[in-house]
Structures are given as structure tokens and as C-alpha cells.
């Protein structure tokens, strides 16, 4: 029997277990349709494995099957989390959780089912009345003194996807030992174990009572309200891309003092189908195109777009030629930290006890800015749970003043423990007002940072490999890079190699030393003599392998930007050739 036939027989046997009374009629009909189809690809992809409850929770395509997001995979995740909470928090009086959700199809349905399951297990549930941003869910856990919380969201993924993120009592996504403990409990769950029938007495609906406290706290992030007052009527275009940002971000901007917020009416429509965009991802230029057109029509100065669960923000502004350009995640992170450090310094608020955090794949230029201002910069793994971990470890010892990642996430405050587009949108608007107060545009501010600290250009390249075969190909690519590391990249010698799976680094002389990290991660990094940095990692949530490329350059004046940028573009092309991508 060939391998493919063996897999087909295995998935058929597995699918037939979904044709029992444990599953509803709609699910059974969908499974039967896949079984009856001559093309077995859909059946294979739906059943070849169980949708894994990993350290980031669940994320997958919606539909029937063990490898899909549906009421049974969500139910198993919630029942497993409930079992874990009842086990480790058995001495806690009044065990409680937050349940939130975004705009996606089935998100409300999954949230209500999850609330019912928690309550059926004797756990008090605070269920948001409607869609809310991810950062507010993180905030609410701490604010209401809960032991855990979940949000149903697939972040910026295409409309076919949904997801489930689990948080611990500090408002951060779960880390060791709880992540493994929850996973173990989830893996034990059979459909018959899931307590779908809830206890309404244990479910409390929340909304404005938390919104107001959260927004009041977000307002405290503002550093220069007087600057906003002077430029309150600056024209800002904001789009929620059909998502949860619409519930709080325009209101937050007004609370900060901005009086001329321009919307994109078609994208204010809450919809899990994301009808005006191919992908609701603010990293992709197309997602901001309608907002930029609106900005051109209204002569606005700034464009902002939050992703569907409003934890990340993409921005655009005019360059020195008056053309609208996108500012990438590394650049926004750089501007946030530059502004915070500059303002703190001017206000005499730097005591030497502050720290900021970046992920290992984020631009090294941020570290240069922190070093020059004598602020400690910590490096952590990709994902905001690791930034949250650093905040938790230093709580009460050092003051956190900001942290970010290249994938358009930033957190300026510590009362939230996940990336926050609500405060980030307000803060970038304040930065634009501050630049204006100093006779600059936002783009000129970015140029000035490059002139002061050196030029850097970053590019992320994702190679998508879907399905079972794709997962195997990604694994093979990582094995090849690990076993045959490049000696040079784009003509420059590799002087440092980091392998976060073995937690070892090797320098140019072959000397091996340890990497101090909280756990292993399947990430490779190469640093070259000329300052180029390449990071390679498989995505934990999508069927892709990601390459993060950063090249260095010189920029002596604002007018040198185009030249430095063009040189860096050529260098990045050479790097991709070296890597074979």
C-alpha cells in the first residue's frame, strides 16, 4: 500500500467517528459530504491531524474535522483549560475568566459556547457583550482579578480562519509551566467530556463598565497633551478594516484630544468576510489602499489601520515628495521608542532604571537608540507573550517604557500585557503632532532618526507551504539551513551564527557558547561582517516559513534617503539569492 492510500484509509476511519450522535447533524452532513467526494484532499486536510492546541492556542480554517476550527475543537480547548484551572487554582476562591471575541465569522458563537463550558465547570465568566479589541481582554483579566481569559480571534489571517488565544492571570498569553499543563489537559479531552450545557448564573455580561476604565488608562500613555492641543485638528484617517478597532480607537483618539478623525465608511462595517480587502493585514499595502485614497481626497496627514482584533497598527504618511508611503513595523517601533526616550529625557524622567524590549527578529537599530540613551534593551522571542514575560519578571524592580516587534505590534504601557493598537494609534498620532510642533513631517522625523543612528532596511519574506506536504517541506528547509549553514551572505562573511533550538551560538573562529533564553525555539540567525542580519523561522500559526532580512547603510542627510534605500534594496536582493529564496 502506498503512503497516500494509507493516509486516505486513516482519515476515512477517523472521519467516520464524527458520524456519531456526539456530533450535531450539520457537522455529520459536512463530514459525509467530504467522505462521498471523489477528491479526498479536503478530507485529508480536515482530518490528517488534530488541530493542535499549542503555546499560542488554536488557529485554523473553519469547518468540520479534527484539524479545523469548529465547536468541538473549540469546546475541547475550553474544557481542557477549565480542567487545568480547576486543578491548579483549587484553593482560589471565586475562580473567574474573561471571554472576548473579534469580528470573525463564528467568533461570537465560539465565545458563547466557551462561556457556557467554563460556567458548566463552576467557573465565573465575564463575557464581553460584543466584539472587543484583544488588548482590552488582556486588560480586563487584570482589572477584574481573573485567573485566565480567552479571545476568539485569528488576528490578521484570511477570512477562512479563526483562532483561540488563552491568557493567564497576568493578562499575558500563557507560558511555561501553564502552557504545557493546559495542552496536556486539552489532549485528554474526548467529545463526550465537553460540558456544553452552561450555568447562566455564572455568566456576567460586561462592556462599557470595562471600556471606560480601559480608555481612561490608555489616556495616561499620552506624554505631551499640550502638543496635541496645539495640533488637535490634524487630519487623521483611521480604518478598523471591518474589525474590533471601531469599538474603541476613534473614541480613544478623541479622548486624547484629536478632533479631526476621518473614517473610511465602507470599512467601518463590521464583517468577518472583510469585503473590501483581500487580506485584513495592515502589513500588506493593499489593506491600506482605501484609507490612503480617503486621505488624498481629504488632504489628511496620517493614515492608520488596525487589524481585525485591534492589536496591531499599520500607518502611512506623505514623503518629502508629497507621495503617500507605508511605514513598516520596524520603522514604527523605532519611532515609538525614539519619541518616548526623547520625551522622557526632555522631561527629566529618565532615572536609569528604565527598560524596553524587542523581539530577536526586530531591527537592531532600536538597540542602538536605547544604548545611546543608556536604556536597557532586552531581546526576546517573537510573540508578545515574551515581551509580557520580561515586564512580569521586572515588575516592581524596573520601569517598562515600551516594547515592540517588526510585525506591527507595539505596547507602550504595562497595564496591558499584549500588543495594543488602541494606545499605539493614539501614540503615533501624538508623535505626528510632535513632529509638526517641531516643524517636521512624520516622514522627516523618520529620516532624522536614520541620519542620527545610521540607515537600516528590513524585509520579511514568507514562503507559503500549505497542507501536510507543505509542513514536511518547511521542516526539511530548516534541517538544510541547520546542517549546511552559509559561510557568507551576499559576499559578506558570516561572523556569528545563532541556533535557538540548541541554544548555542558560533562565532567566526568556530567558538561555541550558550544562548541564554527561557526555552528553545526553532529559529536560526546569521550575522555578517557588514552588519547584515538574517533570521529564519517557521510560523507557529500559519503554513509558512519566514525570512527576516536586515541590511545596514549610511545616511548623512535627509536627502540621502532615496540613495540609501536603493542601495539597501539591491543588497537585500543579493541576500535572497544567497539564501536561495
Tell me, letter by letter, the H, E, C secondary structure of 168-204: ECCCCECCCCHHHHHHHHHHHCCHHHCCCCCCHHHEE
How many percent of the chain have pLDDT more than 90?
93
- pLDDT at site 52: 87
Give the pLDDT of residue 92: 87
Q: At what angle do helices 442-453 and 421-437 cross, to 10 degrees?
A: 90
* pLDDT, tens digit (0-9, with 9 covering 90-100), for 529-573: 999 999 999 987 678 999 999 999 999 999 999 999 999 999 999
Q: What is the pLDDT of residue 2?
A: 55
Kindly report the CATH number assigned to the domain that includes residue 562: 3.30.310
What average pLDDT score do residues 515-532 get? 96
Lowest mean pLDDT among 2-11, 26-35, 59-68: 2-11
In this prediction, residues 478-493 reach a mean pLDDT of 95
| Average pLDDT rounded to a whole number, residues 245-252 | 98
* Domain-ending residue, one of 188, 206, 224: 206
Based on the fold, state whether residues 423 and 441 are members of the same structural domain: yes
> 464-469: which pairs have CB atoms within 8 A and are 24 or more residues apart?
464/542, 464/543, 464/544, 465/543, 465/544, 465/545, 466/543, 467/44, 467/45, 467/543, 468/7, 468/44, 468/45, 468/48, 468/49
Both 254 and 384 in one domain: the answer is: yes
- Please identify, among 426, 451, 476, the residue that sits at the C-terminal boundary of a domain: 451
- Core vs surface per residue 459-471: b (16+ CB within 10 A) or e: bbbeeebeeeeee
Question: Both 276 and 358 in a single domain?
Answer: yes
In a shared domain, residues 316 and 464: no
Interval 354-375 mean pLDDT: 95
Residues 475 and 541 in one domain: yes
pLDDT for res 1: 36
| Annotated active-site residue in 114, 155, 423, 535 | 155
The pLDDT tens digits for 165-203 are 999 999 999 998 999 999 999 999 999 999 999 999 999
Per the annotation, the verdict on 539 as an active-site residue is no
Q: Are residues 445 and 484 in the same domain?
A: no
Query: Residues 489, 563: one domain?
Result: yes
Count CB-CB contacts under 10 A for residue 9: 11
Average pLDDT over residues 463-481: 89
Q: How many domains does the chain have?
A: 4
Provide the mean pLDDT of the chain. Answer: 96
Q: Which domain holds residue 569?
A: 455-579
How far CA 42 is from CA of 32, 39, 440, in Å, comes to: 12, 7, 54
| Cβ atoms of residues 272 and 105 within 8 Å | yes
- pTM here is 0.94
Q: What is the CATH number of the domain that holds 262?
A: 3.40.120.10
Same domain, 444 and 510: no
Q: 309 falls in which pLDDT band (50, 70, 90)?
A: very high
DSSP string over 399-460: EEEEEEETTTEEE--SSS-S--HHHHHHHHHHHHHHHHHTT--HHHHHHHHHHHH-EEEEEE
19 and 95 co-located in one domain? no
Whether 330 and 363 map to the same domain: the answer is yes
Selected residue with higher pLDDT from 525 and 91: 525
Looking at 422, 451, 480, which one is the last position of a domain?
Answer: 451
- Average pLDDT value for residue range 77-90: 96
Q: Are residues 90 and 178 in the same domain?
A: yes
Mark 353-363 as b/e (b = at least 16 C-beta within 10 Å).
ebbbbbbbbbb
As a whole number, mean pLDDT of residues 325-332 equals: 96
Looking at residue 541, its pLDDT comes to 66
304 and 433, same domain (yes or no): yes
Amino acid at each position: 500500500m502506498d503512503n497516500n492510500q494509507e493516509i486516505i484509509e486513516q482519515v476515512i476511519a477517523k472521519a467516520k467517528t464524527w458520524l456519531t450522535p456526539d456530533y450535531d447533524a450539520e457537522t455529520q452532513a459536512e463530514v459525509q459530504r467530504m467522505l462521498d467526494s471523489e477528491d479526498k484532499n479536503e478530507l485529508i486536510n480536515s482530518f490528517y491531524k488534530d488541530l493542535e492546541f499549542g503555546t499560542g492556542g488554536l488557529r485554523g480554517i473553519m469547518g468540520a474535522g479534527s484539524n479545523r476550527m469548529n465547536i468541538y475543537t473549540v469546546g475541547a480547548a475550553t474544557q481542557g483549560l477549565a480542567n487545568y484551572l480547576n486543578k491548579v487554582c483549587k484553593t482560589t476562591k471565586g475562580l473567574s475568566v474573561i471571554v472576548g471575541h473579534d469580528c470573525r465569522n463564528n467568533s461570537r458563537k465560539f465565545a458563547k459556547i466557551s462561556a457556557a463550558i467554563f460556567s458548566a465547570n463552576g467557573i465565573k465568566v465575564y463575557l464581553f457583550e460584543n466584539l472587543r479589541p484583544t488588548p482590552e481582554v488582556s486588560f480586563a483579566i487584570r482589572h477584574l482579578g481573573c485567573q485566565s481569559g480567552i479571545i476568539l480571534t485569528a488576528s490578521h489571517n484570511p477570512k477562512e480562519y479563526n483562532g483561540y488565544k488563552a491568557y493567564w492571570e497576568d493578562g499575558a498569553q500563557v507560558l511555561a509551566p501553564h502552557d504545557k499543563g493546559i495542552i496536556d489537559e486539552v489532549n485528554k479531552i474526548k467529545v463526550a467530556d465537553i460540558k456544553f450545557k452552561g450555568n447562566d448564573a455564572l455568566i456576567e455580561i460586561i462592556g462599557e463598565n470595562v471600556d471606560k476604565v480601559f480608555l481612561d488608562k490608555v489616556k495616561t500613555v499620552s506624554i505631551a497633551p499640550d502638543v496635541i492641543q496645539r495640533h488637535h485638528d490634524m487630519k487623521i484617517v483611521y480604518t478598523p478594516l471591518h474589525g474590533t478597532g471601531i469599538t474603541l480607537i476613534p473614541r480613544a483618539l478623541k479622548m486624547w484630544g484629536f478632533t479631526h478623525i476621518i473614517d473610511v465608511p465602507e470599512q467601518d462595517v463590521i464583517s468577518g468576510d472583510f469585503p473590501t480587502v483581500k487580506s485584513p493585514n495592515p502589513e500588506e499595502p493593499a489593506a491600506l489602499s482605501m484609507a490612503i485614497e480617503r486621505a488624498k481626497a481629504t488632504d489628511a496627514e496620517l493614515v492608520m489601520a488596525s487589524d481585525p482584533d485591534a492589536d496591531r497598527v499599520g500607518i502611512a504618511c506623505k514623503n518629502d515628495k508629497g507621495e503617500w508611503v507605508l511605514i513598516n513595523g520596524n520603522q514604527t517601533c523605532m519611532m515609538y521608542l525614539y519619541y518616548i526616550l526623547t520625551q522622557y529625557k526632555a522631561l527629566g524622567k529618565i532615572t536609569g532604571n528604565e527598560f524596553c524590549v524587542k523581539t530577536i527578529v526586530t531591527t537592531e537599530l532600536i538597540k542602538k537608540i536605547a544604548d545611546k540613551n543608556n536604556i536597557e534593551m532586552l531581546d526576546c522571542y517573537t510573540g508578545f507573550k515574551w515581551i509580557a514575560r520580561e515586564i512580569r519578571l521586572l515588575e516592581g524592580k524596573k520601569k517598562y517604557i515600551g516594547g515592540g516587534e517588526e510585525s506591527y505590534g507595539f505596547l507602550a504601557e504595562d497595564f496591558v500585557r499584549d500588543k495594543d493598537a488602541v494606545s499605539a494609534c493614539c501614540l503615533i498620532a501624538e508623535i505626528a503632532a510632535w513632529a509638526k510642533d517641531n516643524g517636521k513631517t512624520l516622514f522627516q522625523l523618520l529620516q532624522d532618526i536614520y541620519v542620527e543612528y545610521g540607515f537600516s532596511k528590513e524585509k520579511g519574506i514568507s514562503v507559503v507551504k500549505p497542507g501536510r506536504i507543505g509542513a514536511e517541506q518547511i521542516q526539511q528547509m530548516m534541517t538544510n539551513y541547520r546542517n549546511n549553514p552559509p559561510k557568507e551572505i551576499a559576499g559578506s562573511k558570516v561572523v556569528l551564527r545563532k541556533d535557538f533550538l540548541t541554544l548555542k551560538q558560533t562565532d567566526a573562529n568556530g567558538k561555541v557558547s550558550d544562548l541564554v533564553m527561557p526555552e528553545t525555539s526553532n529559529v536560526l540567525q546569521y550575522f555578517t561582517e557588514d552588519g547584515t542580519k538574517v533570521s529564519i523561522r517557521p510560523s507557529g500559526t500559519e503554513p509558512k516559513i519566514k525570512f527576516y532580512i536586515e541590511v545596514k547603510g549610511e545616511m548623512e542627510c535627509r536627502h540621502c534617503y532615496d540613495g540609501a534605500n536603493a542601495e539597501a534594496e539591491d543588497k537585500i536582493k543579493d541576500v535572497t539569492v544567497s539564501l536561495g529564496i
